[in-house]
Structure formats: C-alpha cells, structure tokens
C-alpha cells in the first residue's frame, strides 16, 4: 500500500496554484478540466514521481466548515518536511508569507506554521 495522493481544500484553485508553485516551489503535475473545476495537483521538485498534493476546491459546505474550523483552531491542514527550516523560514518570510508560528523546537523536530492564503495553515518540519 502506498500514498500517492493527498489533498488540501482551497478556496481558489488558481491562487492556490500560484502560491504553491511560485512561493513554495512545488511543480504543477496535473491540470485537467473537470467541468467547473480542475483536477489540479502539485509535486515536490525533488520527487516529481512522488506523492501529489491535490488543490481541491472547497465548494462542498462540509469542506468549507471543516477548513474554517481547523484554521480557526490553529491546526495545520498539511505538513511538509524541509532539511533546513531556518533557511526556508527566512526565504518564505522574504516573499511575504505570513507565519502564525515562528520556528519552535519540539521533541525531535523544529516547526513553523504559515497561512497559505487559500484557507489553510501549513506546517513545515525539520526533523531533529
């Protein structure tokens, strides 16, 4: 069993694509029209055959409620791993990314949390 796809709900697929590619540095993998929506995924440039992240429209009322609730509670919708969290934090900060948690050491890792501008908090983690 393998994880090949996971997703985050977004309130605007085009804005999400711009943020996840231009700011975070992911690469667009799939962009397929699906009626009023798009099957839109991004991947890590380091693992282009790896797990895809689906930028899924939050049009379903349950999705909107879920997304808003975890955001308001400060719960990240996704976690990405980096080798050098301080370097990535400074890079993203210089691009205007709004962080809700500065670099914080936790048992076994250092984490930061930021707003993806599409309704989600995202956590970056550097393992211990």
Helix (H) or strand (E) holding 64: helix 61-72
The per-residue pLDDT for 37 is 83
The per-residue pLDDT for 115 is 98
Rounded to two decimals, the pTM is 0.94
* Mean pLDDT of the 48-57 span: 96
Closest CA to 74 of 126, 12, 14, 122: 122
Q: Is the pLDDT of residue 35 over 90?
A: no
Domain coordinates in residue numbering, the chain: 5-127
Question: What CATH class has 5-127?
Answer: alpha beta
Distance CA 84, CA 128 (A): 11
């Amino acid at each position: 069993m393998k994880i090949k796809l996971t997703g985050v709900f977004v309130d605007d697929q085009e804005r999400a694509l711009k943020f996840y590619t231009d700011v975070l540095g992911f690469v667009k993998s799939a962009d397929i029209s699906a009626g009023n929506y798009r099957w839109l995924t991004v991947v890590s440039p380091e693992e282009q055959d790896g797990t895809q992240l689906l930028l899924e429209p939050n049009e379903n009322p349950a999705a909107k409620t879920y997304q808003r609730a975890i955001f308001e509670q400060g719960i990240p919708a996704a976690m990405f791993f980096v080798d050098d969290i301080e370097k990535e934090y400074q890079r993203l900060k210089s691009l205007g990314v709004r962080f809700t948690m500065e670099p914080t050491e936790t048992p076994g890792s250092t984490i930061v949390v930021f707003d993806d501008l599409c309704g989600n908090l995202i956590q970056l983690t550097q393992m211990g």
